[in-house]
Structure 1
Amino acid sequence: MRLPSILYPVEQAFRYLYGALPFSWRAGAQYRRLRRFLSEAQWWDAERIREWQTERLGWMIRYAYENVPGYRHLYEKAGITPADFGTLEDLPAFPLLEKSFVQTDIRAFTSRSVSPRNLTYLTTGGSTGVPVGFYHTRVNRWMEDAFMHAGWEWGGWIPDQKTLTLRGWFQGTPKRFFWYNPLRRELHLSTYYLTVETYPQYFQIAKQFAPLFIQAYPSAMTFFSRLILERGDAGVLQPRVIFLASETIYPWQRELIARAFPTARIFAHYGHTEQAGLGHWCEYIDQYHFWPFYGYLELLDSQGNPVPLGQVGEIVVTSFWNYGTPWIRYRTGDLGILAGNFCSACGRNFPILSNVQGRIQEFLISQYGRLVSFTALNVHNDLFDHVWQFQFYQDTPGKVTLKLLPRSEFSKNDLNRIQQEMSSKLGEDFSLETVCVEQIPLTPRGKFKVIEQKCSLDWIKETIE
């Protein structure tokens, strides 16, 4: 029910007063208990973590079997029951969960033990073509905050400080592209309306707000940084930390952002809307430390076998906290490289991914089925200096369109050079067309995709090992 307009000022005043209270107090007792647990458990030895995970996994498997018809069907079809799980080594015997299973019948994968009033419907971003719908419960709210804040603290985060966000949470309008949330002391700038023309307004608002922290999509922060450097505004905004997430982070993006914000530390984490796996960089190294108390991580090849250290595998996760739609051995479609299960720099016994290479959809496909990641194209020189943004579009194997959003100084020579160098890097089994465009649309969630992949990807998973 909407409040009468006369009461809006009263409501807003209450939000500001309530937001002035410490977040840990407002978040509730469950949040505080979990934060205390994480502050201690992050230093447990490997054996104690395994014991905790074994107990939690056994409980989640029993919960899903008893309350979620889709899991009972999967397990009965595989001839397996919760009684067959006793150690972590038993987990591979349980079936993998495909996105399509939940897409096809969300009711079958929704817990019967949770009241509909305690369910919140969400969807994934739809990077596989069709968004996957699922349910969270109230547990996900305080749980996610507790883990996120514990991980951000490794990067220098402090609670109750001003934060600027450039993410898809807030869309706004062309005339109202910012919104302040006093409950979290966050100023949201819409990624949908950030352009060369609107940059002065965005920058002035950010400057007046003077945030201590910035949260952003890497693509949005890259574009904002390009504009800052172009206008000679580098170093004016001085956040302590820039937190990046939700997209693949490329080295050239980090370099560009660091030039625009020379005083800021760049800190990243891996996560997704499903809240089944979460990894932060630590205080000392820029590698993803996956929380063993958030979910159980597996890195598998195309045959479902664990990959050795240093090899690329698909990230498969089991959530310990999702009771609405449980995720057990869930294939995320994301790819990572396993670096080990212990960080000698920080001392945590966490699974470490040296790199998250992005989604399976972030590859280009040659006419012979060869896969080329954006990272492999090695865009580290001045090739795109006269371009605001660029995007690879593909709907047919072997044929790629490179879309360029040109800057004022862009010339025919730039176009020819980009065409020649990128054709050479892609190889002879690709046909490349380079075109200039006036706009490169964002996704419904306000993200910018470097590769817009429209080819069928069912067979691609079989080629990634």
Structure 2
Amino acid sequence: MMFIRKLLKNTFFHDVVNYIRALIPYRYKILDADFFRFTETLFENENKSYEQMLHFQFEALKAQVEKAYRFSDFYYQKYNLGGFNPSQLKNFDDIARIPMLTKSEVRENVEKMLVVNDRKNLIAGYTSGTTGKALKLYASPVTFSRELAAVLYQWSRIGFRPGDWRVELRGFVEGDMDYVELSWENVLRINIIKLSSKNIRNVFQKIKRIKCVFIHGYPSAIYKFTKLLIEAGLTLKVRGVFLASEVLYDWQLSLIDGYFKGADMIAHYGQAEKIVLGAWDRGIRKYNFIPTYGYLELDDATDEIIGTGFINDVMPIIRYKMTDTASGFSKIPESSKMLFPVVEKIIGRQGDFTLNEGGNLIPPAIVTFPFKQLTVITACKLIQNDINVFDLIVEGPRTSELSAEASGVVKGLKKIYGKNAVFKIIVMEKIPVDKSGKFRWIECKINR
């Protein structure tokens, strides 16, 4: 096929073919035409004109809306009740006619949002729950092929090649190990919970031995890692740093920047819902979004991000209120590539650092793991009052099912904070939120 012949001329894709299976779980390891076709589209579209890409986005959005209305019971009923019909979509001004979608609607109607009848190949996933409420989602192997293509496309901006070793400061490492070496992925995953002044030299030596050249992780975890390196008087040289899955604060970036001088950096913004995908470009520390991936809007009144995803072929998510807010929004590209819109800052995923019984800092993203796949609890908030004293506030009905689910969460939290940690479970009908619908879902009241 023509697009495959074109790709084979690009050395980046030779590396991809050799390394692709290491980047995703075994059941998703399908290097098919969807991956290559979407990759080719990404590289082709970055060189198109602004007008051409606006046309691409409108047609992609219109196709998602028509598919959703025709094949999804949820969207058919929602749009009819809202007085909207896909035939009304004539230009960009008409997008405002489409009723917006909320997280609670997704939670309550996920099965009805599907546009396929055959569900045997569907892949269920969950959001991190950083707004206090995890969502169940569906995708297909095609979705993951496109997602992988988009991620590698972004990483390539600062020279990443499949096969490069990277330090991973994200994910949960169970047990007492300092790190796990995932040689088939060329990844050294650090145990963020255990990482401290006591083992930083051991971790540092391991990184040097296997020659990791990139760091990938939560900003809070990379900040903690960097601070420990500085305090230990250790110097680590890398080619690039990927900051992902959490909001990035200026005080974190200042420390990381000052230590990893000369390294390229990318801050990445994406979601488990796979709606929009943006990252810094080399030399431009603003979020440059991929117009091929999704359509991003900004609410004029609240600055809330509203998105429509293009890559999920089984569960369309259209005009989705994401509760994250943005500032410095521009519809016009600012780099040499056709990437837009451009956003200076993204605010969301609120949560403090906490401490385990060993006094080690726990990044908020790590704490999300016990909260996935909740069915009765609708929202959670964790407050640390002392080293081993916590309040676990849960939102939902006062039932035995909720009590059992909360006990399961506590069991997971003890793996993070230690067996001596005590959690007082408090049930509320509704956890108070701010104007954007958010609350600080992790609070640390210890005077540090």
User: What TM-score bracket applies, with the shorter chain setting the length?
Assistant: 0.7 to 0.9
Q: Deviations over 1:200-258 (max 9, x none)?
A: 3322322222212111110110011111111110x2x2210011011111122112123
**Structure 1 unaligned runs (5+)?**
1-18, 303-311, 364-373, 375-386, 393-399, 406-438, 444-453
Q: 1:338 to 1:257 in 2, by over 3 A?
A: closer
Seq. identity, %: 28
Q: Deviations over 1:243-290 (max 9, x none)?
A: 101111112211212333234222111111111110011122100011
What corresponds to 1:140 in structure 2?
A: 143
2:48 to 44, 47, 70: 44
Q: 1:62 to 1:352 in 2, by over 3 A?
A: same
Looking at structure 1, the residues matched to 214 and 277 of structure 2 have their Cα atoms a distance apart, in angstroms, of: 20
What corresponds to 1:156 in structure 2?
A: 159
What corresponds to 2:219 in structure 1?
A: 218
Is residue 247 of structure 2 the alignment partner of residue 248 of structure 1?
Answer: yes
What corresponds to 1:23 in structure 2?
A: 19
Q: Which amino acid aligns with 2:294?
A: G
Q: 1:390 to 1:164 in 2, by over 3 A?
A: closer
Is residue 91 of structure 2 the alignment partner of residue 101 of structure 1?
Answer: no
**Structure 2 unaligned runs (5+)?**
1-14, 22-29, 354-358, 365-381, 388-412, 418-427, 440-448
Q: 1:441 to 1:94 in 2, by over 3 A?
A: farther
Query: Deviation at 1:349?
Result: 5.1
Q: For residues 132-211 of structure 1, what are the structure 2 equivalents within 5 Å?
A: 132-168=135-171, 170-175=172-177, 177-182=179-184, 184-211=185-212
Q: Deviations over 1:400-455 (max 9, x none)?
A: 989799xxxxxxxxxxxxxxxxxxxxxxxxxxxxxxxxx99979xxxxxxxxxx99
SS in 2 for 1:118: coil
Q: TM-score, normalised on structure 2? A: 0.72
Q: 1:317 to 1:187 in 2, by over 3 A?
A: same
Q: 1:75 to 1:283 in 2, by over 3 A?
A: same
Q: Which amino acid aligns with 1:147?
A: A
Greater RCO (Cα-Cα under 8 Å, separation 6 or more): 2
Contact persistence 1:68–1:108 (CA under 8 A): yes
Query: Deviation at 1:34?
Result: 1.8
Query: Deviation at 1:171?
Result: 2.4
Q: Which amino acid aligns with 1:329?
A: R
Looking at structure 1, the residues matched to 43 and 360 of structure 2 have their Cα atoms a distance apart, in angstroms, of: 43
Q: For residues 106-145 of structure 1, what are the structure 2 equivalents within 5 Å?
A: 106-111=110-115, 113-145=116-148
Q: Deviations over 1:271-322 (max 9, x none)?
A: 11111110011122100011111000001145xxxxxxxxx61111000011
SS in 2 for 1:22: helix
Q: Deviations over 1:328-375 (max 9, x none)?
A: 01111111114312234425351000111224x469xxxxxxxxxx9x
What corresponds to 1:346 in structure 2?
A: 336
What corresponds to 1:327 in structure 2?
A: 317
What corresponds to 1:317 in structure 2?
A: 307
Looking at structure 2, the residues matched to 391 and 214 of structure 1 have their Cα atoms a distance apart, in angstroms, of: 16
> Alpha carbon RMSD of aligned pairs, Å?
3.3
Contact persistence 1:43–1:349 (CA under 8 A): no
Contact persistence 1:49–1:292 (CA under 8 A): yes
Q: How many residues align?
A: 359
Q: For residues 54-453 of structure 1, what are the structure 2 equivalents within 5 Å?
A: 54-111=58-115, 113-168=116-171, 170-175=172-177, 177-182=179-184, 184-233=185-234, 235=235, 237-302=236-301, 313-346=303-336, 348=338, 350-359=340-349, 361=350
Q: 1:148 to 1:125 in 2, by over 3 A?
A: same
* Regions of 4+ moved over 4 Å: 387-392, 400-405, 439-443
Q: TM-score, normalised on structure 1? A: 0.70
Contact persistence 1:294–1:321 (CA under 8 A): yes
Q: Deviations over 1:105-151 (max 9, x none)?
A: 3212233x152222111111112222111111111221111111112
Q: Deviations over 1:39-80 (max 9, x none)?
A: 121121121111111111111001111222111111011021
Q: 1:206 to 1:404 in 2, by over 3 A?
A: farther
Contact persistence 2:179–2:190 (CA under 8 A): yes
